[in-house]
Amino acid sequence: MKINKFIVLMFSCFFFISGGSFAQKKLIPNNNKGGYNLVVSEEKLKNDDAHYVTIRGHVYDLKTEKPLSVAKLIVGCFEFMTTDQGEYSFKTRNQEDEFFYVEVFAFLYRPVETNYINIYNKKEVIIDFYLAEDDRPFLECSAIGGETHKRKQEELNNLK
């Protein structure tokens, strides 16, 4: 009987220490509260597909886990938008010694960017992003272009 109580007590402690859920996501964190999950295919490219690597995934709201349909992904000089279901997919060149990273932006959400990822000779990379709502105040600049704005901007430009 003592062993059963001990097992139940240990299980309860483990449950609370682990965050209360075994299904809790382990996100790769960034500096904006959100994060991302990364799955790099172990399958190597075949001769037919040897020039391109497929990058795909989803963009979700961190709290609700609902897909974000108007997120923008920036990869180097290229931009991609998510579908209505929060999905994205594109191909990039398979080059040795080439590292890769993605930045994701969505209006009223904090951006998330990945660390550098080695994608050389990988068939597919899946990156699911989880963006946190931006709780910072939204600044309105409705006076831009007005006389007061121009005067203040000139004052700032003339500071020494």
With a pLDDT cut of 90, the percent of the chain lying above it is 39
The number of CA neighbours under 13 Å toward the Cβ of 63 is: 5
pLDDT level of residue 45 (50, 70, 90 thresholds):
low
CATH of the domain at 62: 2.60.40.1120
Domain-located, residue 151: no
Domain-located, residue 36: yes
For residue 105, give the DSSP letter.
Answer: E
Length of the chain: 160
76 contact partners, CB below 8 Å, separation of at least 6: none
Domain-located, residue 121: yes
Domain-located, residue 140: no
Domain-located, residue 77: yes
For residue 82, give the DSSP letter.
Answer: -
Domain total for the chain? 1
47-104 tens-digit pLDDT: 665 788 899 999 999 999 999 998 999 998 899 999 999 999 999 888 777 778 899 9
Q: What is the mean pLDDT of the chain?
A: 80
Domain assignment of residue 32, given as a range: 21-134
Domain-located, residue 11: no
Domain-located, residue 70: yes
Domain-located, residue 100: yes
Alpha-carbon distance of 131 to 57, in angstroms, equals 14
- Closest to 68 in 3D by CA, of 60, 56, 80: 60
Distances (CA, A) of 88 to 40, 55, 118, 155: 16, 8, 19, 46
pLDDT level of residue 1 (50, 70, 90 thresholds):
low
Alpha-carbon distance of 138 to 43, in angstroms, equals 45
